């Protein structure tokens, strides 16, 4: 019995040692597959690729209107009231507002590339590491933290110009302003149409960048980039 226990104990130790060596070898092989400089360069290349594609795609005519995933809807209050408004002949105004909001977003997004590229240039090694291992929302979180506030400021004049002359937008802003002062505007409801458009435009921009980054992770070979293939194929 004792001999059997000794044999089993030895076998377990050998198996544990083999497993540890295997994990160590795997970790070493992965580390050897690419350097820290490679990793940072690959993340930067992926971000640049995503930013370029997103701005080009969304900045064209119907870039937002033609995409069901990011098309900008009416503000929540108007969306709920839309059936009644259409029933009393305000349907054309609703449609005009939706068109104006989405085309304003398309025009605004075309201005985003310089700020996105500056954020990429300023990316730290820690940022790169977090993006590389942070999962599907890492890219969105990075760009939102670095660019949401300044892009919002940059987008505002174009959005204002597109919607400020629409009577329905003016009426919504007046009512929403009163509701906000009474504490009735809560959660994600925008206090103005302009705020709604700016928020949704940025959400759409970061979403499309994130989608491109996920495609890179899933098929790094398909990018045609040796560096992206080297790093993302090893993850």
Task: Give the model confidence (pLDDT) of 73-109 as tens digits.
Answer: 988 888 888 888 888 888 888 888 899 999 999 999 9
Q: How far apart are CA 64 and CA 29, in angstroms?
A: 44
Cβ-based neighbour number of residue 128 at 10 Å: 21
Compute the average pLDDT of residues 46-68. Answer: 93
What percentage of the chain has pLDDT greater than the value 70? 76
Record the tokens describing residue 131, joined without a space: 């993006």
Q: Give the dihedral sign, CA 131/137/140/141.
A: negative
Mean pLDDT for the chain? 78
168-204: per-residue pLDDT in tens?
788 777 765 554 444 444 555 566 888 899 999 999 9
Record the tokens describing residue 226, joined without a space: 């040796």
pLDDT of residue 2: 47
Cα dihedral: 151, 153, 154, 160 (round 10)? 130
């Amino acid at each position: 019995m004792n001999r059997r226990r000794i044999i089993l104990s030895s076998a377990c130790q050998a198996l544990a040692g083999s497993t540890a060596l295997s994990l160590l070898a795997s970790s070493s092989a992965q580390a050897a597959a690419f350097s820290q400089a490679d990793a940072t360069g690959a993340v930067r290349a992926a971000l640049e690729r995503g930013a370029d594609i997103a701005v080009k795609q969304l900045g064209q005519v119907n870039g937002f209107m033609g995409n069901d995933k990011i098309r900008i809807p009416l503000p929540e209050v108007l969306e709920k009231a839309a059936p009644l408004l259409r029933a009393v002949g305000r349907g054309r105004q609703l449609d005009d507002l939706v068109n104006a909001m989405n085309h304003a977003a398309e025009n605004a997004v075309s201005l985003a590339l310089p700020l996105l590229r500056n954020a990429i240039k300023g990316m730290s090694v820690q940022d790169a590491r977090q993006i590389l291992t942070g999962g599907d929302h890492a890219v969105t979180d990075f760009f939102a933290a670095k660019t949401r506030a300044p892009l919002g400021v940059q987008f505002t004049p174009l959005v204002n110009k597109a919607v400020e002359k629409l009577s329905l937008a003016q009426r919504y802003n007046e009512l929403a302003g009163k509701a906000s002062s009474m504490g009735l505007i809560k959660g994600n409801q925008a206090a103005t149409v302009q705020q709604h458009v700016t928020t949704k435009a940025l959400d759409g921009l970061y979403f499309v960048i994130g989608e491109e980054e996920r495609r890179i992770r899933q098929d790094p070979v398909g990018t045609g980039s040796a560096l992206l293939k080297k790093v993302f194929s090893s993850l």
